Amino acid sequence: MKSKSDPRHNARKLALTSIFCWLFSEQDEDECLILSQDLLDTLEYDRNLIKDIVQGVKNHKKEIDELIKKNAPEWPLDKIAKVDLVILRIAVYEVVFSRTVPDKVAIDEAVELAKEFSNETSGKFINGVLGSVVTQTQESKQKEG
């Protein structure tokens, strides 16, 4: 498990809880971030990374969800555990749209978040879906190139 003092991991945890909050409640993004900070009591985090992830997921949600559907065809979005869905959205954003971290790091972070916030089988599911997304993205780039 990641260290409690890793600012980038803490930023992803805050982004996860904040996105979960505004996707599944009536509160706005700013209120959700404040609530997440209070609940997680996170001292050290990368504010820019939180903003990037939250805005990126919001701006690309439709495309991200299409990639998840395509790479987890046996799992309709409404059947995926809500926390797992948010973790997948964050990781797909980082892998496909943000490109600020290596794919392996984005996947490892997603699996770590699943270990912290979800059930024991979620990590394998998330790892499998993200592995497919990475493969598909690489194949698409090769066809374009």
Per-residue model confidence (pLDDT) at position 15: 94
- The amino acid present at 51, given as its one-letter code, is K
**Farthest CA pair distance, the chain:** 46
Per-residue model confidence (pLDDT) at position 4: 58
* Contacts (Cβ under 8 Å, ≥6 apart) of 115: 1, 122, 123
Per-residue model confidence (pLDDT) at position 26: 78
Q: How far apart are CA 32 and CA 57, in angstroms?
A: 15
What six digits make up the tokens of 30? 């700013």
Per-residue model confidence (pLDDT) at position 145: 64
Is-contact 121 81, C-beta < 8 A? no
From the options 1.10.10.10, 2.40.110.10, 3.90.1490.10, 1.10.940.10, give the CATH code of 7-139: 1.10.940.10
Q: What is the mean pLDDT of each run of 10 residues along the chain (145 residues)?
A: 75 93 81 83 85 95 97 95 97 94 96 95 96 89 73
Question: What are the CA-CA distances from residue 13 to residues 8, 60, 144 (Å)?
Answer: 9, 19, 34
Is-contact 10 44, C-beta < 8 A? yes
Per-residue model confidence (pLDDT) at position 137: 85
CA 112 to chain centre: 11
What six digits make up the tokens of 3? 């260290």
Per-residue model confidence (pLDDT) at position 126: 97
pTM given for the model: 0.91
